Amino acid sequence: MAEREARRIRELVTPEGVVLHLRLASAGSRAAAFSIDAAIMLAALIAVTVLAVFILGGFRTFGPAAIIWLLGLFLLRNFYFTLFESGARAATPGKRALKLRVVARDGGRLTGGAVLARNLMREIEVFLPLIFVVSARAEGFSNRWLALFGFVWTGIFLFMPLFNRDRLRAGDMLAGTWVVENERPKIAPDLIARPNPRAEHYSFTPAELAVYGQFEVQRLEEVLRRDDRDAIVTVAGVIRRKLGRVDEGDDRAFLDAYYAAARLHLERRLLFGQRKRDKFDAAS
């Protein structure tokens, strides 16, 4: 069991050179998450149909119901996964229930293009072949080969995560993403609420605080919470070089001071509607 769990651990190197160890989601947990999302989508369609029946006083034919389902399936297939995974949690309700999230394999920020690519591939992986199957069954015995083709096509993509070491769907391969476990401690004390006394003699100019954005500050917080000595030394060196500072001293104290000052700087700017998402953002 321990060896099996170890095979799911991957190293992710952030843009600042910090190595994070992540555990890949199992094929079973991914399938369970998708099942939850599919159930939510089905429930939403049923609820909309019932609401339409209540408002319109019933349907005389199946036409209106068919329109609702065709339109609803189109919207849900194309926007449900994309909208949720584009959010801050990078996870659909199904993934959140299983404590999973989507991350970029290069360690950078998960982009909208990557989310869109991985979810557009789901249309080819699952929904398109299922349309073939339903159409073939509706037209009768003569199209049984089309139905078989649809089942085989779905099966190939459905079981693909079982036959590669990173448990990747075709969409993950195209988008450069992983689905990883997102276990977090239930209580995480605020780092600013417990200041480091040794950090008091460090100060930073507004220009130095504007170098990084929200993404990098969040990554710095993860490094400080893990309190890994090697990671702290590496990150402190990277930030000092980026800021052009030559001061030496306690690396932990330096990072504590920079984190507190950079976070306060970002929060103050947010009060004025100015948000710097990462170091590449034009906002300063």
**Residue 199: what pLDDT?**
74
Q: What are phi and psi of 25, to 5 degrees?
A: -70, 145
- Cα 38 to Cα 25: distance, rounded to the nearest angstrom: 18
**CA proximity to 248, closest of 260, 236, 232:** 236
**Residue 98: what pLDDT?**
93
- Cα 181 to Cα 24: distance, rounded to the nearest angstrom: 6
Residues of the chain with pLDDT under 50: 1-2, 141-142, 185-188, 284
**Residue 41: what pLDDT?**
92
**Residue 186: what pLDDT?**
44
12: three-class secondary structure by DSSP: strand
pTM: 0.60
- Cα 188 to Cα 76: distance, rounded to the nearest angstrom: 35
**CA proximity to 223, closest of 235, 210, 238:** 235
65: three-class secondary structure by DSSP: helix
- Cα 80 to Cα 92: distance, rounded to the nearest angstrom: 8
**Dihedral class, residue 199 (left if φ above 0, else alpha if ψ from -120 to 50, else beta):** alpha
**Residue 37: what pLDDT?**
94
- Cα 207 to Cα 204: distance, rounded to the nearest angstrom: 8
**CA proximity to 111, closest of 282, 277, 284:** 277
**Dihedral class, residue 244 (left if φ above 0, else alpha if ψ from -120 to 50, else beta):** left
H or E stretch covering 159: none
- Cα 88 to Cα 110: distance, rounded to the nearest angstrom: 10
Q: Degrees (nearest 5) of the Cα angle 88, 91, 95?
A: 150
- As a whole number of angstroms, the longest Cα–Cα distance in the chain is 81
- Where in the chain are the domains? 2-181, 197-270
